[in-house]
Structure 1
Amino acid sequence: MLCIVRHGESEWNVIKRLQGQKDIPLSKKGIQQAKKLATHFIDQNIHFEYVFTSDLKRANQTAQWLTEAMPISGIKTETALRERYYGELEGRLITDIVDTLPDFQINFGVPMRYGMESLEDMQERMVTAITNIAKMTEGAPTLIVSHGGAINAFLHRITNGEIGTGKGKLANTSITQLRWLDDSFEVEAYNHTPHL
């Protein structure tokens, strides 16, 4: 089982400022969201043998809160699980960005501007990273903490666009559960928030 969780609310989520790979910490609400999800995991007797997280604070802090009461050997940080790099757009208010680039978060197949990482490149690194994790953990209960845009791009690829990018926004600390079987992913739950 692979359990992919979007990080808790960050300070910039609150003010709707584009984060990308800027290293912004969780807000107080984000910490509470992570604590509630940790309690849900314990109540449901869900434990993880492996934990992987993006190295950015908001994901790493979420992973720490989620596993605080679990007997795990350690949390492995992976830069490949980071959010998309938005170049010069990072730090700007999303409302201002939408005025000039309305499709900036779902812009498949167009030349990149402002030093942005292409959606395809971000999608490819996420698919490679999560596939490698799935092969390495061989079906053991595994937690992956990452970012909304990155998770959605991954899901877009493995479901041929049925879910993911352009289909909806992932909630903070939402759970997406996958099964790795016969070298492919099966989505068992998407954007699930029973703890909120």
Structure 2
Amino acid sequence: MLIGLVRHGKTDWNEEGKIQGQTDIPLNAAGIAQAISLGNRLSSEERIWDAVISSDLKRAYATAQIIAEKLNIPLLESDPRLRERYFGEVEGTKEQERHERWGTDWRNVAEGVETNEAVRARGLSAINEWKLAFPDRNLLVVSHGSFLAQLLAEVCTGLEDQYLSNLSYSILERREEGWHPQLYNCTIHLTP
């Protein structure tokens, strides 16, 4: 089984440097173009994906729709477990504002920020369900940066912690000993 992990395309809040969390911000024109670029890349490569599934937030779902249409594969019902980390009162703020209001340790100080453990538990729940429901299918998953970073850290030991760019593409392969990264944080489809 393969699982592809894609971070959604850009939004206005991404460009403004605001943290989105579960605030439901749509893709902007740049984000739509990014999704089309990845769809074009995947449609020109050997077909490995059987279906696409995404978070139920607009930015991820729209990215998934574009890719599924380009690949002519099913778009499964969205899954709220794939949502971005909930950032509580921090959502909608820029980094400088977070540091001024809560300090550099804002993740542990601000009200309502979902823990790493809770984010990882949601991700593992989804993966374990897919292994049972779709053991012979390869799923392309469209989600969010912090969520995907936590999921990758949980299932891939020793993986270098990198910032996951908008429309980054990673591939995990299920082996007997666990999940193995075949591709990590790739964005070659975004270079002109």
Matched residue, 2:155: 158
Q: 2:118 aligns with which of 121, 124, 127?
A: 121
Q: How many residues align?
A: 188
More helix by share: 2
SS of residue in 2 equivalent to 1:88 = helix
* Contact persistence 1:51–1:76 (CA under 8 A): no
2:61: which partner in 1? 60
What pairs up with 1:34-49 in 2 under 5 angstroms?
34-49=35-50
Query: Which has the higher mean CA deviation after the structures are superposed, 137-146 or 80-89?
Result: 137-146
Q: Normalising by structure 1, what TM-score?
A: 0.88
Farther-moved stretch of structure 1 (92-101 vs 27-36): 92-101
The percent identity for this pair of structures is 33
**1:102 paired residue among 101, 104, 115:** 104
1:179 aligns with 2:181: no
The alpha-carbon distance between structure 1 residues 132 and 71, as it changes in their structure 2 partners (threshold 3 A), is: same
The residue identity in structure 2 corresponding to 1:14 is E
Amino acid in structure 2 at the alignment position of 1:123: R
2:182 to 176, 184, 188: 188
How far apart, in 2, do the equivalents of 1:77 and 1:183 lie? 29
RMSD: 1.8
- Cα distance in structure 2, aligned partners of 1:134 and 1:171: 27
CA distance in structure 1 between the partners assigned to 2:149 and 2:136 by the alignment: 22
| SS of residue in 2 equivalent to 1:36 | helix
Amino acid of the residue matched to residue 142 of structure 2?
A: V
Deviation, structure 1 residue 31 = 0.5
AA at the equivalent of 2:175 = L
Query: Does the Cα contact within 8 Å between 1:7 and 1:147 map onto a contact in 2?
Result: yes
